[in-house]
Structure 1
């Protein structure tokens, strides 16, 4: 089982955890400073890890929002999320700060690994994890191996095109799944401060925004099944796990031809998935 320390740096929060035999025994969390550069982000990681008793050289897995390429360089694909991150030497700086026993990867990819090995993907040969939260992301795990690319873009599922999309999303592409399905997109259409408020208030605009998000995600599930022959998809994220969302996606999928009706289940590991998955990473691509 996995043992060590992990950091998950997302668009809204940075969390750190001590993990023993696959279980999180301690956890600390702070809001993400979206304007901080690489040095500032690593300094905050250090403060959280220090509070957990981490010592330099111990096993550490780091998961971050954005692209992490085969050389360990970190780029924020969505410019609205981490505005000061662009080609930063993440892995190099992490190892200079915390020692050589450090790996780094995308947060949704880490969550995909964890769900595949420890959560809702156990027993699945062709598995996908899809997170719908502030943005939309995920990962593909085929025969136990995470699908990766040297440029770090593989798994950014929210940047695939959607027939329901018209607007430009943070990636710069127009008409993506993220532009209509993300929490940010739901709040914009609903006229609420965030997606949670849209689910709670259920105004006419909010209901329409949520339905459009569900339709886009269900269509994405069918598309991914056509490409990868998936036998299961786990749905996570604050929007994906909101009341009624999964059942809505499942109902939409039932309207697809039988061949594309992939089972979609609730992700099991919740907010811990990226932390656990970060320690499952094997480092740079070969």
Structure 2
């Protein structure tokens, strides 16, 4: 019997949903994320994608979202520039009401960390970290095979660590963070382009400088995390992390 499941990934730039059969993605849909939408609107958007994929209540469903998800399953945006309409919402409770009990919710970077640790770049590593460099900067840490978690859901939000490569204000409210110097949004702002993808293409002095600062900030973050956790492997992903150049 083929095992079927569904997944939703709501990030800072896009929201994707997929139907998965026997461990393979059979169908996938993607729409832009409305960062100003409220909680109910975000749930409605998820439901629309799942309905188009043939989801029925009771099917296996995993939901990953940008922001922190605490132990009780409450969803809180940690960067107001990314999701301005989310503030301590009962995500797990409402997801179960709408889609059934066979569901799980998690921060998006934490979900990616677990996937890489079990199925990807982290296979064989004892102490492993995954960093996603995209609209923002997030990540997760796996120690002795277990994802590092905290009751408030903040564990793994490595983008809010300090960086010496700038003093711009971060969406978290702090200044001079990894996210405010290395993220796609930070690159575009420093380069004067509409987005990070455009900055990579222009080749201007400002773009090159912004990209160099991003790379230096992520490299230092890797060194810091290795010193703190004794990591033996780090994987980097995300639209910026995987960009050419």
Tell me whether the two structures share a fold, i.e. TM-score over 0.5.
Answer: yes
1:38 aligns with 2:34: no
**CA root-mean-square deviation:** 1.1
- Deviation track 1:157-196 (CA, whole Å, cap 9, x = no partner) reads 1000111121110000111001100111111111111111
Q: Which runs of 4+ in 1 moved over 4 A?
A: none
For 1:134 and 1:9, the matched residues in 2 are separated by: 12
For 2:58 and 2:180, the matched residues in 1 are separated by: 41
Could you say which residue in structure 1 is the equivalent of 2:48? 47
- Deviation track 1:192-224 (CA, whole Å, cap 9, x = no partner) reads 111111101110000001001111100000000
For 1:97 and 1:17, the matched residues in 2 are separated by: 18
Q: How far did residue 66 of structure 1 move?
A: 0.2
Could you say which residue in structure 2 is the equivalent of 1:214? 215
Which SS does the other structure have where 2:101 is aligned?
coil
- The number of equivalent residue pairs is 244
- Deviation track 1:69-128 (CA, whole Å, cap 9, x = no partner) reads 001110000001111100011110000101111111100000101011111111111110
Q: What TM-score, normalized to structure 1?
A: 0.84
Could you say which residue in structure 1 is the equivalent of 2:230? 229
For 2:34 and 2:208, the matched residues in 1 are separated by: 31
Q: How far did residue 142 of structure 1 move?
A: 1.3
Could you say which residue in structure 1 is the equivalent of 2:95? 94
For 2:175 and 2:231, the matched residues in 1 are separated by: 26
Which SS does the other structure have where 1:179 is aligned?
helix
Which SS does the other structure have where 1:86 is aligned?
coil
For 1:184 and 1:66, the matched residues in 2 are separated by: 16
- Deviation track 1:54-73 (CA, whole Å, cap 9, x = no partner) reads 10011110000001000111
Q: Which runs of 5+ in 2 are unaligned?
A: none
Could you say which residue in structure 2 is the equivalent of 1:79? 80
Which SS does the other structure have where 1:242 is aligned?
coil
Q: How far did residue 2 of structure 1 move?
A: 7.2
Could you say which residue in structure 2 is the equivalent of 1:115? 116
Q: How does 1:90-239 map to 2 (within 5 A)?
A: 90-239=91-240
- Deviation track 1:121-166 (CA, whole Å, cap 9, x = no partner) reads 1111111000111110010011221111010000111000111121
Q: How far did residue 33 of structure 1 move?
A: 1.4
Q: Which runs of 5+ in 1 are unaligned?
A: 245-286
- Deviation track 1:1-51 (CA, whole Å, cap 9, x = no partner) reads 974111000011111111122211111111111121111111111111111
For 1:76 and 1:163, the matched residues in 2 are separated by: 25
For 1:73 and 1:236, the matched residues in 2 are separated by: 26
Q: How does 1:17-28 map to 2 (within 5 A)?
A: 17-28=18-29
Q: What TM-score, normalized to structure 2?
A: 0.97
